[in-house]
Amino acid sequence: MSTRTAVCALVGFLILPLALPLRAGAQQITTGVIQGSVSDSTGANLPGVSVEARNLDTNQGRTQVTASDGRFVFLQMPPGSYRVSFTLAGFATTVQENVLLTVGQSINLPVAMKVSGVSETVTVTTGTPSIDTERTAAATTINQATIDTIPILGRKFEDLLTLTPGVSVVQGPDGDEISFAGQRGVFNNISLDGGDYNNGFFGEQAGGQRASVDITLDAIKEFQVIASGAPAEYGRTAGGVVNVITKSGTNSARGSAFYFQRLEGLTGDLSDGSKLEDFHREQYGGTIGGPIKKDKAFYFLALEGINGNFQRPNLSTQFGDVPCPVPNPTIAANEALINSNPDCQRTALLGFLQSRVGINDGLPIRHPQSTFALLGKADAAMNPNNHLSGSWNFNHSRKENETFDVATYGNSANGIEGDPAHINALNLNWFTTVMTRMVNEAHFTYSRETRPRTAAGSGLTADTGMGFGPTFRFGDPFFLQPGVDELIWRTQIKDNVSIVSGYHTFKLGGEWMHTLNDQVFRGFFTGRYIFSSVPGFLRYASPAAAGGYGPNTVGCSNGAFVTYPAACPAGSTTDGGPLLLYLQGAGRTGLATDAAGASTITNNELSLFAQDSWQIRPDVTLNYGLRWDAQTMPETVDPTTTAFASVLNDPTFPSDGTIPSQWNMWQPRVGVAWDVRGTGKSLVRASWGVYYARQNMLSQVGSVTTNGLQQQTIFANTANLLALGAPTPTWPNVVTPTPLPDGQFPFFSGVRVFDRDYKNPHIFAFNVAYEQELAPNWVGYADFIWNEAHDLTRFLNFNKSDPVCCDQGPGTGNVYVYNGHPWQPQLDEVMVTNSLGESRYRGLTLGVRKRLSGGIQLEGNYVLAKDEDNDSNERDPFTDRSFNFFDLSKDWGPADRDIRHKFNFFGYFVIPHGLWANTRVQYRSAQPITASPRVVNGNDSGRNSLRKDNEYFTFDWRLGRPFRFGTHFELTPIIEMFNTFNNANNINPLSTPALFNFDGYLRTGVGDPRQMQLAVKLTF
């Protein structure tokens, strides 16, 4: 089908409801639905019944009259508690009390009115149904009771997402990733009060993992998590959907104040015997809300602050079990000792850096942080048919030495995350009742996020790493040389209309979103050096001399070193070291300036959707729809002016120099819910659909700037010195390129391009589930998800030929080496963003939940899953992770995110003496890792054949006792404990050797120890 034909078909579907004479159940992003049918005592439908739904907190009500079939439906109702009343002459008035509506929920109220000749009111207390019989997606709503009471280390709402089945926290290259049903974290779509709350550059939620808190927890009323099967109104995601709804003011003035405290004295030892030194963390804040004008307009404010610090010893303490016997070892006098003793490597490096560049990199590292979050919201009923709502979320964050938390990194290898960083997000919603069965929602978002990052500023500007075990690192991180200036802002406009027609609820809408990223990325401006060993670095960085000293040092297979052009001793060969890699970003005519790293790129995203929730029978609901998304990519320079212009006509060159815009992202979706016995106690639901992900700007910007014209990549190593006589740089200096005339480029230029056939990732998602009420308020469930992903983004260096298995360099043996490079000497690395990735996820969830009753609420679930792919790279555009470029099938194996077993339990319990308790148990099995070496004696163990030592288990609990003062005040002392049994919970996000890590954030080692937190909360 052509795009034009498909657009016409979609527009026709959009218009269809308007032609029908005027049941519901359509998904609502920020609201819910109250619907039902009214009959008399004989079961006959009652038309003409006046139905009023009134919010108990704001006293705002909506009224309508039942149709000829006795049906009524209230669309776009704000979450909250309602009273629904039914009035008809000759019948007793019926009132349904305490109808509790949550976000995205459709509540069905079957009402039977009795004949009465006198004025009479029948009041019914309505319990929330244990099973939502019309929901077709795998979705969970985290209610306010859970948010307010469950123990959360750090009070970050994202940590609550793992309460839902199918959602995992995965140790990834940029901190903990939130993975839905095995999909990449950058595929998720987070919304705040209906507006996009994602960082378009990094592809994660605003603030990412670096902000301690991005939305103050006490501002959140509830949120809905859709792990699979989202209907057509949800787009730009091939992962999960999270709808966060903030609190609103009510007719009663209410507020709160809280203070949480963690201290070193309340914290256990780490599993390796060390402590979190100088550790403290304070979180404090409060809320206030109430009426601006009773029954008409309301306000709500919430704020939260965080101050804290902890200290790691890093290189200030002994490494290994054996201390270095020499106080100040040197390469000239103690090379054998340095080779064999990790602590001697530490002391030799510290002494060398002190004498050579005058820095002390052996001090303990402090990690102070300061964060402030604020949310303001206003709601107003302009008239019975128009409701306005607006919210503004603000965050200020600064975290020192947060870039890396690795024990073998020096003080200089770190940065300030947010100097400071700011988030501003403004959301406006306008809800309009056009007619009784037609409502419209207009939405506007303006968001702005600044993420300045700066290096620690030690005086050593070259990013320098050495050794495979342990791996040491010093100097400004390659992406902070000396820092990054980044601003991203986003404008979103969308409009949805919902129409009830008979037993159909049609919903259709469109959206436009504009994203601009303006940054100066000073990446590799002062170079990155990677050395095979500590002795190799110490020799290379020493003054040039015969016998293996200076930039012409060559490592030999017998452990000796020589100075090029001298040959290795008889019987030995060169080993590829000591300089394995040198990368430098530079201008075409000289050293890099801000102009070389500057970029202003834009994306425009367009969307149309149409869907129908059709109640085929009273016990069967069918949801079907079609969505179209488009993403326009940034413009690039004229490809004929770039360093790769000479190979554009080469049929084997994969790119035409542009970034293909995506106009054909068509996504049909269908779901069904079957109330098996028609009693609301047994439900089968299933869904299938196509889901496209957006492409993050981090993957795009390299193809805009790294083209040889604006910026070139200088590459050097010992291997090129031996093979081509190409000079190697003098540490810690940079290479000053020779200015060239216009139209000429240096040899061995590195470039980044998009494949001409690039497509955005998409998945085919299938889900089937069964829910059964086991007893009043108790439900058991089984849920199975199968996701097949195609066109996943990979980053591959295409400038390769003549593969040879396998790299015999120090400590690797994991990948093929390539003796040919077809576009040399003009081009060296040609990193191509392509769509050659694939994945498959299968997951079975078994669980049970109990709705809050009798002072108990709980849920427990177990997930058995298998996640496979051929590349788990989320967004690292600097690393080619292929094993053999010419046989990518060898990359298929367990995904880096593969967590085979996951168990989750949480509960709320009212216990004697006025106490209440909350517990939370989380377990997940270890993630996979590739053996090193992967190939031994010709036997390939495959990708990710082993498991890391990062199994995770934690038992957390909270105990509170409220004390009332008068009629308006309540004070609750709280005690919490996290990781009660002090499990190690080791952190290892690496998928490549640490020496070759190009991540912008890295934490390794032991996890958080047992921590006790004391708190107090006042409500009024």
| CATH number reported for the structural domain that contains residue 399 in this entry | 2.40.170.20
- For 373, residues 6+ apart whose C-beta sits below 8 A from its C-beta are 213, 214, 215, 216, 285, 303, 304, 305, 393, 394, 395, 396
Q: What are phi and psi of 192, to 5 degrees?
A: -120, 115
The pLDDT tens digits for 710-750 are 888 888 999 989 988 989 999 999 999 888 888 888 888 88
Q: What are phi and psi of 781, to 5 degrees?
A: -150, 155
Output the six-digit token pair for 985. 């919970």
Reported as a pLDDT band with limits 50, 70 and 90, residue 23 is very low
Tell me the backbone φ, ψ of residue 233, rounded to 5 degrees. Answer: -70, -15
Mean pLDDT check: name the lowest of 103-112, 236-245, 511-520, 867-876.
103-112
Comparing C-alpha atoms, which of 866, 814, 861 is closest to residue 839? Answer: 866
- pLDDT confidence of 342, banded at 50, 70, 90? very high
**CB-CB neighbours of 935 under 10 Å:** 19
In a domain, 55, yes or no: yes
Q: What is the mean pLDDT of residues 548-569?
A: 96
Residue 454 has what pLDDT?
93
| Residue span of the structural domain in which 608 resides | 157-313+364-524+597-708+751-1019
Q: pLDDT tens digit string along 119-142? A: 778 887 766 788 888 899 998 888
Q: Which residues contact 155 (CB under 8 A, 6 or more apart)?
A: 213, 217, 260, 283, 304
Residue 181 and residue 63 share a domain: no
**The domain that contains 27 carries what CATH number?**
2.60.40.1120
Residue after which a domain boundary falls, among 109, 129, 149? 129
Report DSSP letters for 813-865, one per residue: --S-EEEE-TTTTTEEEEEEEEEEEEEEEEEEEEEEEEEEETTEEEEEEEEEE
Answer yes or no: do 508 and 650 share one domain.
yes
Averaged confidence pLDDT in the chain? 92
pLDDT category, 807, cuts 50, 70, 90?
A: low
β-partners of residue 41 are none
Residue 732's contacts (CB-CB under 8 Å, 6 or more residues apart) are 357, 460, 461, 462, 464, 475, 527, 529, 541
Q: Is the pLDDT of residue 15 over 50?
A: no
Q: Label each residue of 556-570 as H, E or C.
A: ECCCCEEECCCCCCC
Range picked from 414-423, 603-612, 811-820 for highest mean pLDDT: 603-612
Counting the structural domains of the chain, the total is 2
**166 lies in the same domain as 284:** yes
Instruction: Quote the tokens at residue 497.
Output: 């209309």
Report the C-alpha gap between 283 and 903 in whole angstroms: 29
Is 217 in the same domain as 263? yes
171 shares a domain with 88: no
Shared domain check, 413 and 264: yes
pLDDT one-digit tens code per residue, 829-864: 999 999 999 999 999 999 999 998 889 999 999 999
CB 1011, CB 153: distance < 8 Å: yes
Share of the chain above pLDDT 70, in %: 96
Q: Model-level pTM?
A: 0.91
Contact status, residue 285 vs residue 218, Cβ threshold 8 Å: yes
Q: What is the pLDDT of residue 314?
A: 95
Phi, psi of 567 (to 5 degrees): -90, 155
Residue 741 domain-assigned (yes or no): no
pLDDT value, residue 437: 86
Are both 378 and 489 inside the same structural domain? yes
Asked if the structure places residue 41 within a domain, the reply is yes
Residues in the chain: 1020
Decide if 609 is inside a domain.
yes
Measured in degrees and rounded to the nearest 5, phi and psi for residue 756 equal: -65, -20
**What would the pLDDT profile of 434-470 be if each residue is shown by its tens digit?**
988 899 999 999 999 998 999 988 889 999 999 988 9
Q: What are the C-alpha distances in Å from 989 to residues 158, 367, 583, 678, 855?
A: 19, 20, 24, 48, 40
**Per residue in 418-429, pLDDT tens?**
889 999 999 999
Number of neighbours of residue 251 by Cβ within 10 angstroms: 17
- 403 lies in the same domain as 475: yes
- In a domain, residue 916? The reply is yes
The most distant pair of C-alpha atoms in the chain lies apart, rounded to whole Å, by 113
Pick from 596-600, 942-946, 994-998: least confident? 994-998
* Residue 868 within a domain: yes
What pLDDT sits at residue 18?
A: 39
- In a domain, residue 664? The reply is yes
Banded model confidence at residue 211, pLDDT cuts 50, 70, 90: confident
Residue 813: per-residue pLDDT:
57
What are the CA-CA distances from residue 434 to residues 385, 439, 440, 672 (Å)? 7, 5, 7, 29
Residues 672-704: pLDDT tens digits?
999 999 999 999 999 999 999 999 999 999 999
Decide if pLDDT at 504 tops 90: yes
b/e burial code for range 936-965 (CB count within 10 A of at least 16 → b): eeeebebbbeeebebbbebbbbbbbeeeee
Tokens of 351: 């002494």
Task: Provide the pLDDT confidence category of residue 3 given band limits of 50, 70 and 90.
Answer: very low
Q: Considering the domain boundaries, does residue 342 fall inside one?
A: no
105 and 201 share one domain: no
Q: Are residues 108 and 171 in the same domain?
A: no
- Identify the pLDDT of residue 711: 85
Q: Which residue has the tokens 């218009």?
A: 15
| 887 and 992 both lie in a single domain | yes
β-partners of residue 420 are none
Specify the range with the lowest mean pLDDT, choosing from 1-10, 100-109, 133-142, 299-308: 1-10
pLDDT at 340 over 80: yes
Split at pLDDT 50, 70, 90, the class of 1 is very low
125, 171: one domain: no
**Percent of the chain clearing pLDDT 90 (strictly above):** 75
Q: Is 890 helix (H, G, I), strand (E, B) or coil?
A: helix
Say how far residue 523 (Cα) sits from the centre of its chain.
Answer: 23
d(CA 193, CA 213): 17
Which tens digits make up the pLDDT trace of 357-413? Answer: 999 999 999 999 999 999 999 999 999 899 999 999 999 999 999 999 999 999 999
Cα 141 to its chain centre, rounded Å, is 19
Question: Could you tell me which of 55, 254, 63 has the C-alpha nearest to residue 968?
Answer: 254
Last residue of a domain, one of 129, 146, 168: 129
For 44, residues 6+ apart whose C-beta sits below 8 A from its C-beta are none
pLDDT-wise least confident of 138-142, 473-477, 812-816: 812-816
Instruction: Give the pLDDT confidence score for residue 420 in this predicted structure.
Output: 92
Please tell me the distance from the alpha carbon of residue 672 to that of residue 613, in angstroms, as a whole number.
9
Which of 20-29, 613-622, 657-666 is least confident? 20-29
Structure tokens at 39: 């009959």
